[in-house]
């Protein structure tokens, strides 16, 4: 394809994103952590719905998901299920996290952990290691975004130029408007992705299935290759064990940007209302998966499965639809990249630099904004341009580790006896097991490495917690007045009665 229409449409999308992102700051000082970090805790239910939805839908929806459908079949639908479970997690934990932030002034996940366990070291450790997964994720999305610009420009924009273009655009509005820019651009990107995915899916179904009804695509598939319609999938590698443990591990990974998103809500009720309808957004995945299934017969010799939608577009679709796909995929990459870059800068300033150098909140706020640029220039851009082959492995290890921080959250929401040393021990052994079962013995018995890590982590966490000193009564009382208000009230009433009687 030699037409300039796709790249013009894709660049037009970038222009709109920059315009919206820059405008988001109107009338506010972005040097404070409350404003730049969590948008002054002001986001309403619709913005929050699109913020979380677009943030959780990455380039995977437009590239990876069709690729999985193309190679593995219906195994790809595990993503739809775990994303819905993440909405349940947001509904239950989001309001409590928001209340912690509101009452105790937390703007990051690490700050909440440091406060609950009275250990800035634990907060910094959690923030530092979580940032490995976050940066790997941001790099992957940047590579995806640069690849889209490369394809849409018919190869005229090399990958390194694409990386610089995308990161410069994000840097511009993220530096200027912080979490407010993420909110407004994600809202735009969320709507765009939904429209693009359905336009592409319906067009492909009409062109190759004989009508808008997806049924014809799947009826053909059932007759010719029924293995695509069941687990363990067409390649036989998606067992029930891997499906189940992948869903559980993904559901239990409390990634820092999600925490920041919850803290940006205007109220606890706002989080519940947006989480309630959040799963409905994941109909965005269905049409792109159908495109992947269509590719099984229309592009049988594809070298890279995750390019199936793009290849189908370049070979068959009208140029305006190719341009829409370019804009939609770029939106998906950027909407997921932005929150991770923002949360890493925020965590480095608030959870690591502030306690280490005893900085004031005002200085930490300025530092968070300024750290964004070296993080992009010195870490994300060079790694994205180098495109290391083991990046997916780094991401897998990182996500496996993210799950190992689960004990910190159990102690925050469910168990008053959890101690600092218990959490630390659990994290360390869980991480070692996850690392070994990712790099040395890959997913033994078809079970996700992160799940194996939890199997060892949780008993160690409980045992060590029982043997070591818990946090002070004042902290426990403060936290559990939010995490367990009824229980706290009953305790207070019984103490009151005892003191009187």
CB closer to another protein, 362 vs 490:
490
Q: x/- contact string, 46-65, with another protein (CB under 8 A)?
A: --------------------
Interacting residue with another protein among 213, 297, 320, 357 (CB under 8 A): 213
Q: Cβ distance 99 to 478 under 8 Å? A: no
- Work out which of 5, 241, 391, 435 binds another protein, going by CB under 8 A: 241
If we measure between CA atoms, which residue out of 66, 87, 86, 88 comes closest to residue 77? 66
**3-state SS class at 353:** helix
Q: Looking at 13, 49, 62, 77, which residue binds another protein (CB under 8 A)?
A: 77
- Does 80 help bind another protein (rule: CB under 8 A)? yes
244: contact with another protein by CB under 8 A: yes
CA distances from 416 to 88, 117, 122, 409 (A): 23, 11, 17, 11
- Residue 334 dihedral angles phi and psi, to the nearest 5°: -70, -35
**Contact indicator for 228, 74 with CB cutoff of 8 Å:** yes
CB of 102 to another protein, least distance (A): 15
The verdict on 458 binding another protein (CB under 8 A) reads no
Burial class, 240, CB count within 10 angstroms (exposed 0-12 / middle 13-18 / buried 19+)? exposed
Q: Counting contacts by CB under 8 A, is residue 68 touching another protein?
A: no
For residue 230, give the 3-state DSSP assignment.
coil
Q: Is 470 in the site for another protein (CB under 8 A)?
A: yes
Q: Which stretch binds another protein (CB under 8 A): 116-124, 223-231, 256-264, 436-444?
A: 223-231
Is residue 382 part of the contact set for another protein (CB under 8 A)?
no
Interface mask (CB under 8 A) for another protein, residues 161-200, using x and -? ----------------------------------------
Nearer to another protein, 107 or 412 (CB): 412
Contacts of 168 (CB under 8 A, 6+ apart): none
Does 499 sit near another protein (CB under 8 A)? Answer: no
Candidate residues 159, 248, 314, 379; the one interacting with another protein per rule CB under 8 A = 248
The C-alpha atoms of residue 256 and residue 244 are separated, in whole angstroms, by 24
Q: Which of 65, 74, 234, 433 binds another protein (CB under 8 A)?
A: 74
CB 348 within 8 A of CB 203: no
CA angle, 75 then 328 then 5, to 5°? 130
Cα–Cα nearest to 327, from 195, 173, 169, 206: 195
Binding characters for another protein, 400-439, by CB under 8 A (x = yes): -------------xxxxx----------------------
Q: Residue 26 or 486: which CB sits closer to another protein?
A: 486
Instruction: State the SS3 of 126-194.
Output: HHHHHHHHHHHHHHHHHHHHHHHHHHHCCCCCCHHHHHHHHHHHHHHHHHHHHHHHHHHHHHHHHHHHH
Any contact of residue 85 with another protein (CB under 8 A)?
Answer: yes
Shortest reach from residue 181's CB to another protein, in Å: 28
Residue 154 touches another protein, criterion: CB under 8 A: no
Q: State both tokens at 19.
A: 């315009």
User: Is residue 486 close enough to count as binding another protein by CB under 8 A?
Assistant: yes
Rounded to 10°, the helix 78-104/240-251 angle is 20
Chain positions 261 to 320 lying near another protein, rule: CB under 8 A, are 269, 272-273, 275-277, 279-280, 282-283, 286, 289
243 makes contact with another protein (CB under 8 A): yes
**Among positions 19, 91, 104, 160, the unique one binding another protein when judged by CB under 8 A:** 91
Query: Which contiguous run of DSSP H or E holds residue 114?
Result: helix 109-116
Which of 215, 236, 318, 459 lies at the binding interface for another protein (CB under 8 A)? 215
Which single residue is written with the structure tokens 């964004």? Answer: 372
222 binds another protein (CB under 8 A): yes
3-state secondary structure of 106: coil
Shortest gap between Cβ of 79 and another protein (angstroms)?
9
The single residue among 16, 159, 202, 231 that binds another protein, judged by CB under 8 A, is: 231
Residue number, 79 or 385, with CB nearest to another protein: 79
369 contacts 345 by C-beta, under 8 angstroms: yes
Is residue 88 a contact point for another protein (CB under 8 A)?
yes
Cα–Cα separations (whole angstroms), residue 488 to 113, 456, 471, 475 = 20, 31, 16, 13
What is the binding site for another protein (CB under 8 A)? 74, 77, 80-82, 84-85, 87-88, 91-92, 213-215, 218-219, 222, 226-227, 229-231, 240-241, 243-244, 247-248, 251, 269, 272-273, 275-277, 279-280, 282-283, 286, 289, 413-417, 470, 473, 476-477, 480, 483-487, 489-491
């Amino acid at each position: 394809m030699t037409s300039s229409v796709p790249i013009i449409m894709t660049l037009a999308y970038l222009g709109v994103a920059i315009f919206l992102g820059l405008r988001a700051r109107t009338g506010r000082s972005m040097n404070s952590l409350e404003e730049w970090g969590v948008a002054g805790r002001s986001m309403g239910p619709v913005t929050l719905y699109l913020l979380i939805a677009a943030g959780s839908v990455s380039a995977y929806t437009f590239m990876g998901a069709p690729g999985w459908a193309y190679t593995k079949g219906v195994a790809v639908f595990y993503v739809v299920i775990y994303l819905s479970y993440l909405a349940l997690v947001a509904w239950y934990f989001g309001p409590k996290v928001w209340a912690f932030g509101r009452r105790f002034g937390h703007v990051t996940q690490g700050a909440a952990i440091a406060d609950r366990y009275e250990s800035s070291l634990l907060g910094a450790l959690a923030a530092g290691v979580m940032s490995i997964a976050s940066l790997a994720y941001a790099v992957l999305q940047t590579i995806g975004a640069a690849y889209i610009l490369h394809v849409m420009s018919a190869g005229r924009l090399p990958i390194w130029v694409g990386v610089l273009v995308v990161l410069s655009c994000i840097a511009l509005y993220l530096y200027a408007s912080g979490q407010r820019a993420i909110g407004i651009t994600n809202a735009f990107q969320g709507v765009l992705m939904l429209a693009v995915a359905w336009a592409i899916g319906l067009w492909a179904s009409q062109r190759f299935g004989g009508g808008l009804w997806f049924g014809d695509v799947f009826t053909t598939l059932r007759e010719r290759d029924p293995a695509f319609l069941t687990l363990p999938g067409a390649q036989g590698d998606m067992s029930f064990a891997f499906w189940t443990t992948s869903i559980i591990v993904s559901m239990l990974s409390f990634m820092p940007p999600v925490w920041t998103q919850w803290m940006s809500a205007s109220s606890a009720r706002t989080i519940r209302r947006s989480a309630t309808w959040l799963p409905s957004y994941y109909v965005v995945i269905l049409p792109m998966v159908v495109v992947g299934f269509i590719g099984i017969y229309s592009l049988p010799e594809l070298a890279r499965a995750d390019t199936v939608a793009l290849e189908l577009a370049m070979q068959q679709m009208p140029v305006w639809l190719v341009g829409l796909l370019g804009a939609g995929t770029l939106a998906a990459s950027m909407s997921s990249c932005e929150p991770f870059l923002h949360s890493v800068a925020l965590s480095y300033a608030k959870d690591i630099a502030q306690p280490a150098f005893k900085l004031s909140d005002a200085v930490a706020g300025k530092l968070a904004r300024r750290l964004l640029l070296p993080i992009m220039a010195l870490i994300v851009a060079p790694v994205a341009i180098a495109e290391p082959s083991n990046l997916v492995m780094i991401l897998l290890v990182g996500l496996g580790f993210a799950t190992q921080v689960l004990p910190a959250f159990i102690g925050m929401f469910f168990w008053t006896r959890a101690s600092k040393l218990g959490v630390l021990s659990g994290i360390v052994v869980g991480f070692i097991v996850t690392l070994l079962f990712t790099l040395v013995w890959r997913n033994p018995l078809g079970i996700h490495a992160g799940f194996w890590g939890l199997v060892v982590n949780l008993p160690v966490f409980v045992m060590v917690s029982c043997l070591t000193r818990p946090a002070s009564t004042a902290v426990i009382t403060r936290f559990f007045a939010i995490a367990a208000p009824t229980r706290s009230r009953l305790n207070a009433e019984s103490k009151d009665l005892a003191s009187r009687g």
